[in-house]
Amino acid sequence: MNMQVKHHPQERICSQFYEVINFLKNHGAKGHNKNWHWGRWEWLLSHSYLDEATLPSIGIFLDGDQIVGLCTHDMGKPAYILLNPQYNHLKPRMVDYAFDNLSQKCSSYLFVDEEDEELISIIQSKGYVLTEKSETTLVLDCQEKLTYNLDGKFSITDYHKSKDIDKYVAVIHKGFGNEGEPAKGLTEADFSEQPHQNPSLTVFIIAPSGEYVAHCGILYTADTDTC
């Protein structure tokens, strides 16, 4: 084995971005990595609030030129360890990397799958303790067509047909519970590149007033069976 650890460059869409995408297509959204679909990585790297200075803290673990593990944050914290299960022996090293490089104001914490007893044991052996923080992964089977009723008061449309950027920004700003007023007057040029974003899969529910009251964006490629 030719094991090495590299830091992610301080840029968003680069060769490493796509290499991590491929790694997560093979090993994300399953097993102990089930809360990290490749779309979450693209969402992170394209998010307007991402501090690009934090990107080099992300560690890419390689066997030769093949990614086998990733230590990443999600908008700063917490940290996550994502691993090809054939390389479980790297867990102690990845825990050390996470706490050494992804700590936030000396209060770093890892989100760990509660079923990954081995990783939990490693973390506890290093003096860390479990907390009440949690993260839930929800799964919706989309094999069959979904039905819904908007009672004639609301309508559903895609981004192509509506494309009101101010309303788009506002529903996301409010939907995530952000304080203050959403930005106005933005254009497409103000948004970071999102290579796999398909506007036809971005939909809104619109109130009688014309306000966007709900939004759903999907990251999907035909070579995977999840989105």
What stretches in the chain show pLDDT beneath 70?
A: 1, 104-107
Domain boundaries, the chain: 3-125, 155-216
Q: In whole angstroms, give the CA distance from residue 208 to residue 198.
A: 26
pLDDT tens, residue by residue, 184-217:
999 888 888 889 988 888 899 999 999 999 999 8
What is the assigned CATH class of domain 3-125? alpha beta
State residue 107's pLDDT score: 53
Token pair in block for residue 128: 């860390």
Q: In whole angstroms, give the CA distance from residue 125 to residue 16.
A: 32
State residue 136's pLDDT score: 87
